Amino acid sequence: NPKTKEQIENLLRNGMNKELRDRLCCRMTFGTAGLRSAMGAGFCYINDLTVIQSTQGMYKYLERCFSDFKQRGFVVGYDTRGQVTSSCSSQRLAKLTAAVLLAKDVPVYLFSRYVPTPFVVYWENGAQITSPHDKEILKCIEECVEPWNGSWNDNLVDTSPLKRDPLQDICRRYMEDLKKICFHRELNSKTTLKFVHTSFHGVGHDYVQLAFQVFGFKPPIPVPEQKDPDPDFSTVKCPNPEEGESVLELSLRLAEKENARIVLATDPDADRLAVAELQENGDWKVFTGNELAALFGWWMFDCWKKNKSRNADVKNIYMLATTVSSKILKAIALKEGFHFEETLPGFKWIGSRIKDLLENGKEVLFAFEESIGFLCGTSVLDKDGVSAAVVVAEMASYLETMNITLKQQLINVYEKYGYHISKTSYFLCYDPTTIKSIFERLRNFDSPKEYPKFCGTFAILHIRDVTTGYDSSQPNKKSVLPVSKNSQMITFTFQNGCVATLRTSGTEPKIKYYAEMCASPDQSDTALLEEELKKLIEALIENFLEPSKNGLTWRSV
């Protein structure tokens, strides 16, 4: 690729040795979700070469794992992201991926246009890969770094008889599967509620429109400036709907103009969903991932209860969440009698656990992670913003018939199962040794091999350290969640009912903190709970993270 080659040559010419080292002396690794990096020149970035290398390694590994690999084939999808300065685009990378495999006589199912991430299934179980596959694939990539004959030949996607386009078939089957989680089609077709949808310059528009059709709705109103793909995301300062009101500006203004009470925002690859609702006083309420999960959990269980067959057993029902997410589903499960399970952070863990449960005859209604990743039903085994968007629309339409808003229903859920008030944020830290020393200090707090007993004035009841596999709440002191040595994560359960987790991001230079007050249904003084949580978070930051001493940058909101 002349452009990435030129980037490296320029750095060399200008003697930028540190930057060359950063770019060339490490490879991409698997974070909480796949091989992730920015686009650009160098072995630790996404570009033509590193995608070819990764695909070659994947080919080698799959050939080893499946004797019938060449009968099965390989699925390749892409979204709308790109970087002009590296002449790199998701579509071009998809063609190169396909070329590597077609040159090796592997049938390739290459989508003919951009698709939401959940359309592309992952390992043979349809979930994102977990260890040990990731480590083994990395080893295979290391063994196949020189491009093979034919790997650069992206014309193969136009000439090879082994290339097929799964778009129509997958889209049809996906939309057909959506019907399983639609419970009020009749009511949807009559609703007076209006919805605005923004696809954040990504892939979501067409698919959300189709999903609304399947559910019997009139089409949602698209945000014209954000409806079509734009790799520069030119109307938002950050293409992440999780950032809240500041990035939803255009959709909120359109909704006010159109008299629409609910805004649905899918992120650029359409696997996550943000929701905002107009309140009586004219303000917008942007729901957090944890608040939406409380609504989804209530809704999916309520729909199951009302539609179940006579002999269906509630003990066969499961909901899942990652361990840094709200414990609200646990509270609902305890009261209603179904099962709740936690996994490590990352939807790959949820996907593979759901697969196990389904194989054992269990039914999984809902799963989520707090970073606005939701899965309703089990037609795909990954977070899915398209199905989540249309389920929110149905839930809102149903509640509207009783004059209840989403915000009021959220309060109803909390009143019944106990308030769960949470706060998630992060600090930036670009120095891996500082990050390591922060966590090592917690493992040797007052004396060697001793975790803290207090955080400021707050007494600690239990500590779980998934990095080392320690859990003080277990009889054998061993963590039930699998050990994940290459990332830092410690969870503190406090005497006052608060749970807080400190962890490093699998994909970015961040130390994240997650804290939640889990109250019982009889504690309904929210101001008091919020005050307590606020104080605890201040103590956590001050005592355990020490931002000024460690030179951490606060997240700018």
User: According to the 3-state scheme, what is the secondary structure of 478-520?
Assistant: ECCCCCCCCCCEEEEEECCCEEEEEEECCCCCEEEEEEEEECC
pLDDT tens string for the chain (557 positions)?
999 999 999 999 999 999 999 999 999 988 777 898 999 999 999 999 999 999 999 999 999 999 999 999 999 999 999 999 999 999 999 999 999 999 999 999 999 999 999 999 888 999 999 888 999 999 999 999 999 999 999 999 999 999 999 999 999 999 999 999 999 999 999 999 999 999 999 999 999 999 999 999 999 999 999 999 999 999 999 999 999 999 999 999 999 999 999 999 999 999 999 999 999 999 999 999 999 999 999 999 999 999 999 999 999 999 999 999 999 999 999 999 999 999 999 999 999 999 999 999 999 999 999 999 999 999 999 999 999 999 999 999 999 999 999 999 999 999 999 999 999 999 999 999 999 999 999 999 999 999 999 999 999 999 999 999 999 999 999 999 988 888 899 999 999 999 999 999 877 889 999 999 999 999 989 999 999 999 999 999 999 999 999 999 988 54
Phi/psi class of residue 120: alpha, beta or left (left: φ > 0; alpha: ψ in -120 to 50)? Answer: beta
CA distance 552 to 429: 5
At 374, is the secondary structure helix, strand, or coil? strand
Class of the domain covering 2-164: alpha beta
Q: With beta carbons less than 8 A apart as the criterion, state whether 199 and 270 touch.
A: yes
Beta carbons of 168 and 230 less than 8 angstroms apart: no
Predicted TM-score (pTM) of this structure: 0.95
> pLDDT at position 556, please?
58
The pLDDT of residue 557:
44
Q: What are 222's two structure tokens?
A: 């698209």
Are the beta carbons of 513 and 540 closer than 8 angstroms? yes
Residue 214: closest CA among 188, 249, 234:
188
Question: Which segments of the chain belong to CATH 3.30.310.50?
Answer: 419-554
Rounded to whole angstroms, how far apart are CA atoms 240 and 243?
Answer: 6
Q: What is the CA radius of gyration of the chain?
A: 24
Task: In whole angstroms, give the CA distance from residue 324 to residue 371.
Answer: 10
The Cα 193–Cα 259 span in angstroms is: 9
Instruction: Take residue 268 and report the two structure tokens written for it.
Output: 């650029």
Where would I find the H helices in 215-323?
224-227, 249-258, 289-307
pLDDT in tens, 177-193: 999 999 999 999 999 99
Within 8 A by CB and 6+ apart from 304, the residues are 312, 317, 363, 365
User: Minimal CA–CA distance to 423: which of 285, 537, 556, 284?
Assistant: 537
| Contact partners, residue 201, CB within 8 Å, separation at least 6 | 80, 226, 228, 229, 230, 231, 232, 233, 234, 235, 236, 239, 268
Please tell me the distance from the alpha carbon of residue 393 to that of residue 219, in angstroms, as a whole number: 11
pLDDT confidence of residue 484: 84
Among candidate residues 509, 513, 523, 507, the one with its CA nearest the CA of residue 543: 513
Residue 199 CA: distances (Å) to CA of 71, 114, 138? 36, 13, 33
Start and end residues for every CATH 3.40.120.10 domain found in the chain: 2-164, 176-417
Tally Cβ neighbours within 10 Å of residue 377.
Answer: 19
Residue whose structure tokens are 């952070």: 345
- Phi and psi at residue 509, to the nearest 5°: -80, 60
Convert the pLDDT of each residue in 251-293 to its tens digit.
Answer: 999 999 999 999 999 999 999 999 999 999 999 999 999 999 9
Q: Classify 435 as helix, strand or coil.
A: helix
Tally Cβ neighbours within 10 Å of residue 431.
12
User: The CATH number of 419-554 is which of 1.10.10.60, 3.40.50.1460, 2.60.120.10, 3.30.310.50?
Assistant: 3.30.310.50
Residue 320 makes CB contacts below 8 A (sequence gap 6+) with: 329, 340, 341, 342, 343, 350, 353, 354, 364, 366, 367, 368
Q: Which residue is associated with the tokens 């002191």?
A: 477
Beta bridge partners of 546: none
The two most distant CA atoms of the chain are separated, in Å, by: 75
Instruction: Quote the tokens at residue 207.
Output: 């698919």
Q: Which CATH superfamily is domain 176-417 in?
A: Alpha-D-Glucose-1,6-Bisphosphate, subunit A, domain 3 (3.40.120.10)
